[in-house]
Structure 1
């Protein structure tokens, strides 16, 4: 079966009421086309973490998802403050989330480490004052 699909989502910054809707929609789409549940779980977790980072740390952004027979590629571009030190941000438990965000149950410093853990390929580019682009790839085989 040959699959080729492109999806696009806009993410609002600071809007926790709709946070996670894009990753939920992708999860439902992958179920509908018959992707293995274990692979869907990897994609859903890594994309949700990235989407939540856009809501928590940036003023939202855009998500482009490309689904093929071989892989799912997710590119998330935000309009946030950027990440000054990506290596530091990748450390489990490191977070720049505010006290208010932590009180909501977010900002534990596991977003980027979980993206790395649950994706087959992770690329992060960031420019301070401009924003961050995260590319996640999960192979289907």
Structure 2
């Protein structure tokens, strides 16, 4: 018997009309579960930023959310191009988003910095030409 709830979301690439649906669904589930609003806010922001990054840069991917007794883990896995320079990508304002994405109001270079800021733990495992897996935890 598992003491975790697990939810999986398939994220479509280049579909900005649906971008944010997974993080919104998780936010609603956490509210129903009575999780603290500050925890919900952190999870929603961190997951949304990751979800948008998957739409912009990686042609989508899969998000697994594990809700445990004192921790929420988000595992965002894609088969995109990978991140060439993680240190550079972690700089606020640095973005490789194309101009047409910026024109939509996305790609400001705050995704990874915000993911780190709003999670208690973040790990980036990336391989050029293979993809990226970002694991984030929010404790409560």
Shorter-chain TM band: over 0.9
TM superposition score normalised by structure 1: 0.96
SS at match of 2:64: strand
Runs (5+) with no aligned partner, structure 2: none
Determine the structure 1 residue equivalent to 2:56. 56
Determine the structure 2 residue equivalent to 1:136. 136
**Cα distance in 1 between the residues matched to 2:99 and 2:14:** 14
- The Cα of 1:17 is off from its aligned counterpart by 1.1
Mapped pair 1:17 → 2:1: no
Determine the structure 2 residue equivalent to 1:93. 93
Could you list the per-position Cα deviations for residues 83-105 of structure 1 after superposition, in whole angstroms to 9, with x for gaps in the alignment? 01101100000000000000000
Could you list the per-position Cα deviations for residues 80-136 of structure 1 after superposition, in whole angstroms to 9, with x for gaps in the alignment? 110011011000000000000000000100000000100000000111111110001
Runs (5+) with no aligned partner, structure 1: none
- The Cα of 1:4 is off from its aligned counterpart by 2.2
**Cα distance in 2 between the residues matched to 1:91 and 1:4:** 34
**Cα distance in 2 between the residues matched to 1:59 and 1:52:** 10
Say what the alpha-carbon RMSD is for the aligned residues. 1.1
